[in-house]
Amino acid sequence: MAEQIPVPDEAVATHPVLDAARADKTREVTPDVAYRRLGMVNVVFVGPPGAPDRGWVLIDAGLPGTRGFIRSAAAARFGEASRPAAIVMTHGHIDHVGALEALAEEWDVPVYAHPLERPYLDGSAAYPPGDPSVGGGLMALLSPLFSPKPVDVGARLHDLPANGSVPFLPGWRWLHTPGHTVGHVSFWREADRCLLAGDAFVTTGQESAYQVAIQEPQMHGPPMYFTVDWPAAGHSVGVLAELEPEIALTMHGKPLHGAEMRAALHRLAQEFPQVAVPRQGRYVAEPRRAEDGSAYEKP
């Protein structure tokens, strides 16, 4: 099992008093970036509270069955009639696309993702199955049961711009951070050094149901049971550490900030094979990659 890199509670980048005062059940990490935890995964709302119709963006779409929670949080934060300009995907695993088809249809919005992630989002390919042999806890053990069946939003799906910009989010850029999936991306805003890392790394021990429940902050590699290319994953963490972020919000766990977060992220990057890569696992021995087609299963 991978090693934990603990991070002190003081590095958690949310404001409990302010968060409790809002009716939308989100937690803010900057004035225009908030997230809502839905079971074991986060969804992110980018845009200031009260943003007008088409004046904000949703990043990822949670677990199956969470459509109502996402919709109600958006209505409370931005207004009942306010729809996003787009839904932008870090990647297409089941815990990130659960409400995607329904929300994209209801809100009549485009969906953006990396081109290498397109087959998982247009119904033409499935992810390699989860690997319980990586160990770490109940979540890993149950991973083969997580549906690998792809969603199909092909009629609304667009590639992220090749110049690195993020549609409808001036000041942000996307970074290709493969490893967890071949088309995984993270999002970066230089102005306040805010990093939305997706699952390139996470801040909880995602393999363990207990760790997922208590959300004790730690710096952790990508969820082991779904990561298909460990050398690429390690390189991606190194790229993100070099940004020297002030705030890091991942899709699993609490957001972190400050010098202690950066020190933990650098340690994760420098010691990635020892602290993040499982000692055994199907994809440790045989990575799945886009260039040879091995990352794409028949649906």
Q: What is the mean pLDDT of the chain?
A: 94
Q: Read out DSSP for 57-112? A: EEE---STT-HHHHHHHHHHHH-TT---SEEE-S---HHHHTTHHHHHHHHT--EE
Taking the whole predicted model, whether its pTM rises above 0.75 is answered as yes
Kindly provide the b/e burial profile for residues 121-154, where b requires at least 16 CB atoms within 10 angstroms of the residue's own CB.
bbeebbbbebbbbbbbbebbbebeebebebbbbe
What residue ranges of the chain have pLDDT lower than 50? none
Residue at 106 is within a domain: yes
Q: Which amino acid is at 143?
A: S
Residue at 86 is within a domain: yes
Residue at 293 is within a domain: no
What tokens appear for 224 in the block?
Answer: 């082991």
Domain that holds residue 151: 5-285
- Provide the phi-psi class of 230: left if phi over 0, else alpha when psi is between -120 and 50, else beta: alpha
φ, ψ (nearest 5 deg) of residue 240: -70, -35
**Cα distance between residue 178 and residue 176, in whole Å:** 6
Q: What is the pLDDT of residue 1?
A: 54
For residue 30, the Cα-to-chain-centroid distance in whole angstroms is 17
**Cα distance between residue 59 and residue 160, in whole Å:** 13
Q: What is the pLDDT of residue 147?
A: 67
- Strand intervals (E) in the chain: 5-6, 27-30, 33-38, 41-46, 57-59, 86-88, 111-113, 157-159, 172-176, 185-189, 194-198, 218-219, 247-250, 256-257
- What are the tens digits of pLDDT across the range 119-158? 999 999 999 999 998 888 776 776 676 766 789 999 999 9
Residue at 299 is within a domain: no
Residue at 291 is within a domain: no
Residue at 230 is within a domain: yes
Q: What is the pLDDT of residue 212?
A: 74
SS3 144: helix
Could you tell me if 150 and 92 are in contact, meaning their C-beta atoms sit under 8 angstroms apart?
A: yes
Q: What is the pLDDT of residue 143?
A: 67
Q: What is the pLDDT of residue 154?
A: 98
Order the strands of the 247-250 sheet from edge to edge: 172-176, 185-189, 194-198, 247-250, 256-257
CATH number at residue 51: 3.60.15.10
Order the strands of the 111-113 sheet from edge to edge: 27-30, 33-38, 41-46, 57-59, 86-88, 111-113, 157-159
Could you tell me if 294 and 285 are in contact, meaning their C-beta atoms sit under 8 angstroms apart?
A: no
Structural domains in the chain (count): 1
Residue at 252 is within a domain: yes
Residue at 295 is within a domain: no
Q: What is the pLDDT of residue 148?
A: 63
